[in-house]
Amino acid sequence: MNSLTRRDFLKKSTTLAAGAAITSLSFPAILHAKNKYPTIKVVGTHVTLQEDIRKKAQEDLGINIEFYPGGSAEVILKAITDPSSFDIYEQWSNSIRVLHQADAIQPLDIKRLKYWDEINSLSKTGKISPNASFGAGDVPNKILYVQKDGSLGPKATNQISFMPYVHNVDSFGYNSAVIPRGVPYETESWAWLLDKRYHGRVALVNEPTIGIFDAALAVEAKGLMKFKDIGDMSKKEIDQLFKILIDYKQKGHFRGVWSSVPHSAELMATNQVDIESMFSPAVSTLNGMGVPCVYAAPKEGYRAWHGVMCLSSESKDERKDAAYEYMNWWLSGWAGAFIARQGYYISNPERARKHMSSYEWDYWYAGKSAIKDLRGTDGKVSVRKGDLRNGGSYVKRFENIAVWNTVMPNYDYTVNKWNEFVTKRA
Amino acid sequence: MNIFSNTLRKKIYFLSILSSIFFIGIAYIAYNNLINLSKSFDDFAQINSQAQSYIELTKDVEKLKGNVQSFTYSGYKGSAQEAKKLYEKITNFFVNTQLRKETEVDKSLLAIELHLKKYFDTFKEVERQKKVQKDLKKLKRDLHEKLIDKLYKYSQTTYKKSLILKNINDEIFKAEKYSLYYFDTMDTDYIKQYKEVISKTKKNLSKLKNKEVDVEKVYQLKELSNILKQYSKIFLKTVQQVRSYTFLINVVMSAELYEVLYYANIIHNTSLSIIEKIENNVDTNISDSTKIFLLLGVLFFIFMLTASLIITNSIVNPITLLTESFKKLTKGETDFKILEYSVNDEIGDLSTAAVVFQEKNKELQKYQTELEKLVISRTEELTKAQNHLIESEKMASLGSLVAGISHEINTPVGLSLTGVSYINEITNNIIKDVENNNLKQSSFKKYLEDVRVMSETMEKSLNDATELIKSFKQISVDQHAEQIRDFKLHNYVEDVLLSLKNNIKHTHIDITNNIPIELTLHSYPGIFSQIFTNLIMNSIVHAFDEDQKGNIYIEAITNDNNLMLTYIDNGKGMDDNTIKHIFDPFFTTKMGQGGSGLGMYIIYNLITQKLNGNIVCQSKITQETKFIITIPMESKDV
């Protein structure tokens, strides 16, 4: 009852907004347009909007699925300004607050999620295991449950703002041909990003809600400053942090920032950087290219992120039903196994396990060494026989979280500072 | 003629072919070099123009950036249009430029193209979103106005001057203020304050609603609440839009621009270093070319020198030496070494010929020497013979002189003898008559007459003979003595004439002796006898016919110490050929007629050698013959 009222209410207000917002939105590239009925439109990033997934889903579900992948900023902007243009929104947890505030999304009914119970405790409690450290910043459970008053919080309800699915811990990648391999959790450190030995050959991810944490962790690990709460930096702390960063940038320590996964891979492949913020697909890509990129397991802990699958506030009827089908399909096992080969984890791993070979599972999830070469989703060998996943098992890795990707309260302030950092030339 | 039969020619041809090959080689190297040089200039020009286009590109990028920034911060549409124009220009540049991923510059250009596209695509989105933002803000403003309006209307209907109403009004204005402050400063505190104010307003409205009983007014208040909710939502939506919009500009675009400028910097630096390299390349090429040309020049010089040396050694030198040798040979020298050129060609043949020639010359010289010896001996013999002949002639002339003299003398002597014989005879007759006493006076008178006449004749004859002998003596003495003495020429010539009386008297020739009487010579008189004897005899014999009348003039004039004798006869004269040979020995036009042909030859020799003078013959056919003798007046003993 509540949800219906809420939905109607949301619908009215957004209709007004939508009506007033006269925009001819041009979407990021449309991958496919078939005229099969029904059609759902999925907007998101290249991370999860992969053609193989779309084809398989279409095949399995018998519905028409249109993907609209784009950069994070574009995607979020479109979602905010025109929720009717999509059904499913796939992105990261750090956009939940924004979407929620803009009424771009509608809460999901747990009852309609087939595999809700299989979803592990990470997203529900913030901890993968009792041993786990509680990372700073937007731990997923803090923004998961839609409370009675409409706000988001950790208290469990039947309504969630997003379906937990893809997640991972990120750190930085380094070229082990140039930088000697470290020991996970012991010698590998965020401080390496500011190591003068790698002067001019460092890059950060161009995302204030992500890259700032890589930088902050590095600065803290190097002992240059200490944060009270790294997930909620004060303006003063932000000033101090950026003073340090801009100084490094001016001296030419950073090659620059990267705005897409292919760009990050290219930077290392073309020998412009030896160490950089990295997302795991780039690690696979680089290894496939013959660049021995190692995804570090820093002793300070990882920067974690959680993928979100949201339902547009404008999605209804058949499209909404189809959307739920699609969401459920994602947790049905195949997709989980697929993305596991790219180094991502799924919220219900055991179901994905059924679609993986034992040696794949051992390597990707169990933290064991590969007993044979493993191929990535592009068909190229991304893991060599004998390789060990840096950082160990799924559980071990998620037990070592330093911070979650977060839209901090001083986010706007950081954006300006971030801009200063990005544009500063050596 | 087979061109290859000539070995020297073969050598020349070979040398020509070799040098042609050499020069072709030089020309080829030079040409190649020039091509390379020109190519490096072309490369330079191309690279330079390319570099210019890159610089142009980077300038356009800067301008584009400027325009984009101008639009994003001021919303000035002109900037957006300018930006679009520039982007189109830059895109055209990339379309027209062939980029391969090989060079640093190309990679950078491709990167620029990629990131610039993202930059500009984001800008286009920003442009769109700016409008969206504008519309959202307008909507918010409209809602605000609507709120105020509705609140006012409500306040008009109620008679209660509620403090709450006032508060609500203030709060609505505050909210709007905070929203505007937020958009100006992007300070999230204002969002917080806005939310607080909205919350307060909501509560106050709720209070009002609870107090209100009028259905119509309750409705109005509900409407106000709705509008307030909308207003709040729109504001929050706008906030998100503004944040995302700012994010696009500050995060997405700035990162793409950074990459563009990063690669532009690489291009700039690479272009500079390429230009430097190509400039150095051009400089190197120029200096290399210069070196090569110098080297070629030196090689050319060396080649020419070598060729000259070869030609000099194998052709010029031998020819020069041979020429020298031949010059010497033509001069007749034989005692020098001819350098034999032992190469099998024409020069070699020539040198062999020279040696042979030298040998032959030597032989010739030998023969010449022998011949000279022979000539000398023959000349000696001939001279002896000549002398002998002269002697003979002298003897002959003497002989003829003697014959002439004897003939001359013979006549008077003969006459005398005849007279004496007659006298003897007639005397005998008289005696007989006496004895026989048969003497008749007439016979005795005839006898006495005969004896008288005979005696006169005999006396005259014997006188003539005595004179002749006197003259002959004089001449002959002089002829054989050959001693220099003083004598008067006139008289001497008279003596000669006398001695030739017998020859002259039979002719009709008149000889005139115009020699000055006082002219005295200190010379060999005998020679003069011979001269005049010969000249006169020749005139008699050759110049005149037997009964022809003629004249001979003998003249003499002196000049300084020289005597010029002129002998002229007006006889037949001589033709040029005769004049030419007149002094030749044994030359005579009356062969077999008593002339030995030596007379003129002898007097010529006597005049030229003994008297140290000269004799010249001039003659005009049918008119005269002239002999001019020039001699010094004092002869030296020769």
Strand stretches in B347-491, DSSP E? 485-488
Are the C-beta atoms of B538 and B503 separated by less than 8 Å? no
Residue range A238-294, pLDDT digits in tens: 999 999 999 999 999 999 999 888 899 999 999 999 999 998 888 888 988 999 999
**Domain ends where: B306, B329, B352?**
B329
User: Quick check: B243 and A412 CB within 8 A?
Assistant: yes
User: Quick check: A20 and B136 CB within 8 A?
Assistant: yes
Residues A125, A144: Cα–Cα separation, whole Å? 10
B143 or B423, higher pLDDT: B143
User: Quick check: A13 and B233 CB within 8 A?
Assistant: yes
Q: Which of A21, A270, A411 sits opposite B132 (nearest CB)?
A: A21
**Shortest alpha-carbon distance between residue B267 and chain A (Å):** 15
Cα–Cα–Cα angle for B13, B14, B18, rounded to 5 degrees: 115
Residues B344, B268: Cα–Cα separation, whole Å? 73
Farthest-apart Cα atoms in chain A, separation? 61
**Shortest alpha-carbon distance between residue A16 and chain B (Å):** 9
B122 CB neighbours in chain A (<8 A) are 74
Per-residue model confidence (pLDDT) at position A23: 32
Determine if the pTM surpasses 0.80.
no
User: Quick check: B240 and A208 CB within 8 A?
Assistant: no
**Number of Cβ atoms within 10 Å of the Cβ of A375:** 15
B132 CB neighbours in chain A (<8 A) are 21, 23, 81
Residues A27, A7: Cα–Cα separation, whole Å? 25
Q: Which of A20, A101, A206 sits opposite B251 (nearest CB)?
A: A206
B135 CB neighbours in chain A (<8 A) are 20-22
Is B538 domain-assigned? yes
Are the C-beta atoms of B389 and B598 separated by less than 8 Å? yes
Residue range B515-544, pLDDT digits in tens: 999 998 888 888 888 899 889 988 888 888
Are the C-beta atoms of A48 and A166 separated by less than 8 Å? yes
Q: Which of B135, B239, B254 sits opposite A20 (nearest CB)?
A: B135
Q: Is B496 helix (H, G, I), strand (E, B) or coil?
A: helix
Closest CA to B558 of B633, B491, B496: B633
**Number of Cβ atoms within 10 Å of the Cβ of A80:** 26
Residue range B401-422, pLDDT digits in tens: 666 667 667 777 888 888 888 8
Per-residue model confidence (pLDDT) at position B179: 94
Are the C-beta atoms of B41 and B49 separated by less than 8 Å? no
Q: Is A305 helix (H, G, I), strand (E, B) or coil?
A: strand
What is the torsional sign of CA B247, B250, B255, B260? positive
B251 CB neighbours in chain A (<8 A) are 73, 206-208, 415, 418-419, 422
Residues A205, B469: Cα–Cα separation, whole Å? 170
Per-residue model confidence (pLDDT) at position B401: 61
Kind and range of the H or E element at A370? Answer: none
Give B310's contacts (C-beta < 8 A, 6+ positions apart).
B15
Per-residue model confidence (pLDDT) at position A54: 95
**Domain ends where: B277, B294, B329?**
B329
A257 CB neighbours in chain B (<8 A) are 255, 258
Residue B260: both structure tokens together: 């563009």
The DSSP code for A27 is: P
A412 CB neighbours in chain B (<8 A) are 186-188, 243, 246
Is B450 domain-assigned? no
Is B194 domain-assigned? no
Helices (H), B561-615: 576-581, 599-605
Chosen for mutation from B110, B125, B137, B260 (greatest number of chain A CBs closer than 10 Å) is B125
Give me the amino acid identity at B597. G
Q: Which of B125, B240, B248 sits opposite A80 (nearest CB)?
A: B240
User: Quick check: A418 and B259 CB within 8 A?
Assistant: no
Average pLDDT of span B567-586? 88
Is B618 domain-assigned? yes
Residue A372 CB burial class (10 angstroms; 0-12, 13-18, ≥19): middle
A26 CB neighbours in chain B (<8 A) are 128
- Phi, psi (5° rounding) for residue B519? -60, 115
A215 CB neighbours in chain B (<8 A) are none
**Domain ends where: B311, B329, B347?**
B329
Tell me whether A98 touches chain B (CB under 8 Å).
yes
Closest CA to B222 of B230, B184, B140, B248: B230
Helices (H), A102-234: 121-125, 140-144, 211-221
Farthest-apart Cα atoms in chain B, separation? 262
Distances in whole angstroms, Cα of residue B568 to Cα of each of B68, B473, B510, B514, B595: 142, 27, 12, 11, 20
Q: What secondary structure does DSSP assign to B166-219, as a single string? A: HHHHHHHHHHHHHHHHHHHH--HHHHHHHHHHHHHHHHHHHHHHHH---HHHHH
User: Quick check: B239 and A422 CB within 8 A?
Assistant: no
Per-residue model confidence (pLDDT) at position A56: 95
Is B311 domain-assigned? yes
Whether residue B613 has pLDDT greater than 60: yes
Per-residue model confidence (pLDDT) at position B627: 93
pLDDT by 10s per residue, chain A, length 426: 444 444 444 444 444 444 333 233 333 334 444 444 689 999 998 888 999 999 999 999 989 999 998 877 778 878 888 889 999 999 888 888 888 877 889 999 999 999 999 999 999 999 999 988 889 998 999 999 999 988 899 999 999 999 999 999 999 999 999 999 999 999 999 999 999 999 999 999 998 888 999 999 999 999 999 999 999 999 999 999 999 999 999 999 999 999 888 899 999 999 999 999 998 888 888 988 999 999 999 999 999 999 999 999 999 888 999 999 999 999 999 999 999 998 899 999 999 999 999 999 999 999 999 999 998 888 888 888 998 888 899 999 999 999 999 888 888 889 889 999 999 988
Q: Alpha carbon B528 to chain centroid distance?
A: 71
Tell me whether A5 touches chain B (CB under 8 Å).
no
Q: Which long-range contacts does B394-397 make (Cβ < 8 Å, 24+ apart)?
A: B394/B479, B394/B602, B396/B596, B397/B530, B397/B533, B397/B534, B397/B599, B397/B602
Interface A-B, measured as beta-carbon pairs within 8 A, has a size of: 108
Are the C-beta atoms of B540 and B620 separated by less than 8 Å? no
Q: Containing domain of residue B105, as a range? A: 1-161+242-329
Is B362 domain-assigned? no
**Number of Cβ atoms within 10 Å of the Cβ of A60:** 14
Closest CA to B594 of B529, B515, B541: B541
Residues B366, B143: Cα–Cα separation, whole Å? 150
Whether residue B601 has pLDDT greater than 90: no
A98 CB neighbours in chain B (<8 A) are 240, 243-244
Residues A23, B170: Cα–Cα separation, whole Å? 34
Closest CA to A308 of A104, A15, A6: A104
Closest CA to B532 of B600, B586, B434: B600
User: Quick check: B246 and A22 CB within 8 A?
Assistant: no
Is B185 domain-assigned? no
**Number of Cβ atoms within 10 Å of the Cβ of B82:** 18
User: Quick check: A206 and B250 CB within 8 A?
Assistant: no
- Across B113-117, B204-208, B467-471, which has the greatest mean pLDDT? B113-117
Residues of B with CB under 8 A from a CB of A: 107, 118, 122, 125, 128-129, 131-132, 135-136, 139, 186-188, 229-230, 233-234, 236-237, 239-241, 243-248, 250-252, 254-259, 261-262
Tell me whether A246 touches chain B (CB under 8 Å).
no
Number of domains in chain B: 2
Q: Which residue of B has its CA nearest to A258?
A: B255
Chosen for mutation from A272, A419, A420, A425 (greatest number of chain B CBs closer than 10 Å) is A419
User: Quick check: A102 and B135 CB within 8 A?
Assistant: no
Kind and range of the H or E element at A54? Answer: helix A51-61
Helices (H), B563-633: 576-581, 599-605
**Number of Cβ atoms within 10 Å of the Cβ of A32:** 12
Q: Which of B237, B239, B251 sits opposite A418 (nearest CB)?
A: B251
What is the torsional sign of CA B599, B600, B603, B605? negative
Per-residue model confidence (pLDDT) at position B478: 56
Residue range B486-500, pLDDT digits in tens: 889 999 899 989 888
Per-residue model confidence (pLDDT) at position B322: 80
Give me the amino acid identity at B138. K
User: Quick check: A206 and B187 CB within 8 A?
Assistant: no
Residue A372: both structure tokens together: 């044979």
Torsion of CA B274, B278, B279, B280, to 10 degrees: 100
Q: Which of B234, B248, B257 sits opposite A73 (nearest CB)?
A: B248
Q: Can you give the CATH number for the domain in which B522 is found?
A: 3.30.565.10
- Phi, psi (5° rounding) for residue A277? -55, 145
Per-residue model confidence (pLDDT) at position B99: 74
Q: Which of B131, B234, B247 sits opposite A415 (nearest CB)?
A: B247
User: Quick check: A81 and B129 CB within 8 A?
Assistant: yes
Residue A314 CB burial class (10 angstroms; 0-12, 13-18, ≥19): buried
Task: Give the up-direction half-sphere exposure of residue B323: CA atoms within 13 A in the CB hemisphere.
Answer: 6
Torsion of CA B465, B466, B467, B470, to 10 degrees: 120
Q: Which residue has the tokens 């699915």?
A: A165
Q: Which residues pair with B510 in a beta bridge?
A: B551
Q: Which residue of B has its CA nearest to A23?
A: B132
Is B477 domain-assigned? no
User: Quick check: A98 and B243 CB within 8 A?
Assistant: yes
